[in-house]
Copies of this chain bind each other. A is one copy, B any other.
Amino acid sequence: MNKIHCLVWNEFVHEKSDANVARLYPNGIHGAIAQALEEDERFEVRTATLDSPEQGLDEATLAWADVVLWWGHTAHNLVKDEYVERLHRAITQRGVGLIPLHSGHMSKIFMRLMGTSCDLKWREIGESERIWVVEPSHPIVAGVPETFVLPHEEMYGERFDIPAPDEIILLSWFQGGNVFRSGCTWKRGAGRIFYFRPGHESLPSYYQSEVRQILRNGAAWAARQPGIPSTPYGHQPQPLEKVFPNKEES
């Protein structure tokens, strides 16, 4: 069986400018996410960052990828529009999956796919987050407990300005009084998208077992399917069925 090709993309900025983040994620946030994926033999994993050639979004890499996990925050605007459109085509036309993580809600690619501001409320006081599974039959939560706690997280709160998800799988409770749709899926063209809310750059959420399980499940779910039907668009001059010349309506 062919392996699922996972590209972990990270802007890789906080880790180089903030000593605490660097200590927490010595191989970058992408390193921690890649490690979580590599625990599963189904996956083959590569990483890319803003510093990579063509910002890690070259045609060869996107042709290789079945799913892209995306972490970005402070450098969204540095990602070139040209590469965003390339990634958009890979997702919508070729079926590459996308998993925007945490602050990736404001990445150019996610906003481009959603058509809305993707804005939300946020607060950074180290409060706790409790996540609840609301769609237990979904493969993204296989092996995950019905509820688990991230002891300290950045708060993300509703109203989250997204299109109504195809599926809402996880809801978050925050100590300070907010709630959030923390695990959501959409389909766009041939591609599948899974937004997953954790984790903040200064907190160890990507080392927590439940989060890692969901990353693996999500990557498997969103990854490009083999055998996607081709659906040519545009002018189809010939009818598929015979058309009557002198049609009369009943």
A binding-site residues for B, Cβ under 8 Å = 92, 95, 112-117, 119-123, 125, 127-128, 130, 132-139, 141-147, 149, 151, 155, 157-161, 163-164, 166-168, 171-179, 181, 186-192, 225-244, 247, 249-250
Nearest chain B CB to A33 CB, angstrom units: 21
What is the distance, in angstroms, from A132's C-beta to the closest C-beta of chain B? 5
> A236 and B157 in contact (CB under 8 A), knowing A115-B115, A127-B243, A163-B163?
yes
Task: Evaluate whether A134 and B122 lie within 8 angstroms (CB atoms) in the complex, with A177-B239, A243-B176 already known.
Answer: no
Neighbouring B residues of A187 by C-beta, 8 Å: 135, 137-138, 163-164
Residue of B nearest to A172 (CB): B179
- The verdict on A228 contacting B189 (CB below 8 Å), with A178-B240, A239-B125 known, is no
A236 touches B121 (CB 8 A): yes
A95 to chain B: closest residue by CB:
B137
Some 5 contacts from A to B, beta carbons below 8 A apart, are A143-B226, A146-B159, A159-B233, A173-B179, A176-B240
**Is B168 in contact with A167, judged by CB distance below 8 angstroms?**
no
